[in-house]
Amino acid sequence: MEFFLQLLVNGVCVGLLYGISAMGFVMIFKSSSVLNFAHGELLALGAFFFLSLVTWAKLPIIVAFILTLIGCFILGFLIERFFLRPLIGEKLIFVIMLTVGLAAMFKGFILLIWGGNLYTYPEFLPEAMGLKFGSIYIAPVYSATLIISVIFLVLFGLFFKKSAQGIYMRSVADNQKAALSLGVHVRRVFALSWAIAALVASMSGIVLGIINGVNVHDLSSIGLKVFPVVILGGLDSIGGAIIGGIIIGVLETFTGGYLSPSLRDVVPYIVLVFILMVKPYGLFGLVEIERV
């Protein structure tokens, strides 16, 4: 039972992280219908930026963390401005292929600068952050994950529900033509969704780096894990991304704990197939509101 609870807690923490990183993916898809294949590389870039700021520039952790987030936010903006904007109005498949190209480019860039080795961050999370409930122990990394995830979720919830910019982003996702007719700056919304996506990707990159170590190949393959998460949750549901993330995270730790660690990457996909047979739009996929 203890083992079960321990796995469950770890699974939920990792899953939240997947969910948040999937959220960035969903945002791009919602506002511009683009599948971003470079998501894993954005994640890795964030982790490596943070690595350099901490070990090479020797900045305090908090400063490095915030600088990384700001840097990736700007990077997201620039990606949209220089690579995606020229393709507005072209066929969607071109834009999606472009993200595949971006993925290769970023990966090459990381390999060029940092190489393919496994790095680790210096220990910086205080041991006091670990939580103990009876016999269940939550390691500092996991409790930090939990805290950061919840903070981000609340912030984004408020942003999309209350702030003008958040409502404009949802309006563009909903009906682009109508948004244009009201003067919503649609290109700015695209840029903002890329910026936010890059920001959340870098954040989850850093946390995953703390858990597993920093390596290009590992981190960018986690980008692929975004796909089962979003497909499970429904491609256009931000809440679904979070819940999909938690399900995949829990499945992974359970398989790793009870079956075999080498199966952890496979079982989630098998479950995914079964769920999709029952709910083809994903668990929380948008059910089209249709008026007849």
Partner 1 sequence: MGEILLQLNNISVVYSDVIQVLKGVSLSVEKNHIVSLLGSNGAGKTTTLKAISGLLKPENGEVTEGTILYNGVNIQNQAPEFITRQGIIQVLEGRQPFKYLTIEENLRVGTATRFGKPYKQDLELVYNYFPALVQRRKSLAGYCSGGELQMLVIGRALMAHPQLLLLDEPSLGLAPLVVQEIFRIIKKINEEQEATIILVEQNARMALQVAHYGYVMENGKIMMEATAKELSDNPDIKEFYLGMAASGIAKSYKDVKSYRRRKRWL
Report the interface residues with partner 1, using CB under 8 A: 89, 164, 167-168, 170-171, 174-186, 286, 289, 291
Q: Which is nearer to partner 1, 11 or 282 (CB)?
A: 282
Tell me the chain's radius of gyration from C-alpha atoms: 19
Hey, is 175 helix, strand or coil?
coil
Q: Which is nearer to partner 1, 58 or 177 (CB)?
A: 177
- Whats the size of the chain, residue-wise? 292
Least CB distance to partner 1 at residue 60 (A) = 36
Q: At what angle do helices 39-51 and 92-114 cross, to 10 degrees?
A: 30
Q: Which is nearer to partner 1, 2 or 174 (CB)?
A: 174
Least CB distance to partner 1 at residue 286 (A) = 7
Amino acid code (one letter) for 193: S
Least CB distance to partner 1 at residue 182 (A) = 5
Amino acid code (one letter) for 101: G
Structure token pair of residue 208: 């995953």
Least CB distance to partner 1 at residue 226 (A) = 23
Which residue has tokens 């769920």? 275
Q: Which is nearer to partner 1, 240 or 268 (CB)?
A: 240
Least CB distance to partner 1 at residue 176 (A) = 8
Which residue has tokens 């500092």? 140
Structure token pair of residue 200: 């959340």
Q: Which is nearer to partner 1, 95 or 103 (CB)?
A: 95
Structure token pair of residue 146: 């939990």
| Element of type H or E holding 132 | strand 131-133
Least CB distance to partner 1 at residue 77 (A) = 18
Q: Which is nearer to partner 1, 175 or 260 (CB)?
A: 175
Whether 156 contacts 169, CB under 8 Å: no
Buried b or exposed e, range 224-249, using 16+ CB within 10 angstroms: ebbbbbbbbbbbbbbbbbbbbbbbbb
